[in-house]
Amino acid sequence: MKNRLFIWLAIFGAGRAWAQLAIGNTAEYQVGNLPFEKPNDLTAFYNQLNLSYQWRDWRGNIKLERFQRPRKDKDYTELTQRSLRYANRSLDLALGNFYEIIGRGLLLRSYEIPGALLENPGQRIRYGFYRDIEGALLKYQSERLDLKLLRGKPLLNTFPPNFTGDLRRRHLVDAVETKLRLIPDWAVGGAYLRDHRGGKLKEYGAVSLSGNLPHEIQLYSEYAQRLGGGNKRFDLSDHSSHAFYTSVNFVAGPFGLSAEYKDYNDFFLQYNDPPPLIKEHPYAVLNRSTHFIEPRNETGWQMEIFLNTAQGHTAVFNWTRADSRPFQNNNRFEEWFAEFGYALDEQTTVKTFFDRSEDQLLFEKDRYAAGLYLEREWLQQLGTSLDENLRRAGQTGAGAFG
pLDDT digits (tens, 9 = 90+) for 91-130: 999 999 999 999 999 999 999 988 888 888 777 899 999 9
- For position 320, what pLDDT does the model report? 95
Average pLDDT on 303-332 reads: 90
Kindly report the pTM of this predicted structure. 0.81
- pLDDT exceeds 90 at position 32: no
- For position 210, what pLDDT does the model report? 97
- For position 315, what pLDDT does the model report? 97
Kindly report the CATH number that applies to the domain delimited by 72-401.
Answer: 2.40.160
Computed on alpha carbons and rounded to an integer, the radius of gyration of the chain in Å comes to: 22
Confidence band, pLDDT 50/70/90 cuts, at residue 287: low
List all residues 6 or more positions away from 340 whose beta carbon is below 8 Å from its beta carbon. Answer: 314, 315, 316, 351, 352, 353
- For position 33, what pLDDT does the model report? 76
Confidence band, pLDDT 50/70/90 cuts, at residue 352: very high
Query: CA dist 134 to 97, 161, 170, 264, 294, Å?
Result: 4, 14, 11, 26, 25
- For position 3, what pLDDT does the model report? 39
- For position 208, what pLDDT does the model report? 98
- pLDDT exceeds 50 at position 7: no
Residue 269's CB is within 10 A of a number of other CB atoms, namely 21
- For position 11, what pLDDT does the model report? 39
pLDDT digits (tens, 9 = 90+) for 232-253: 888 888 888 999 999 999 999 8
Which of 109, 241, 227, 103 shows the shortest CA–CA distance to 176? 103
Average pLDDT on 298-302 reads: 96
Confidence band, pLDDT 50/70/90 cuts, at residue 137: very high
- pLDDT exceeds 80 at position 312: yes
Three-state DSSP string of 325-388: CHHHCCEEEEEEEEEEEEECCCCEEEEEEEEEEEEHHHCEEEEEEEEEEEEEEEECCEEEEEEE
For the chain, the domains span 72-401
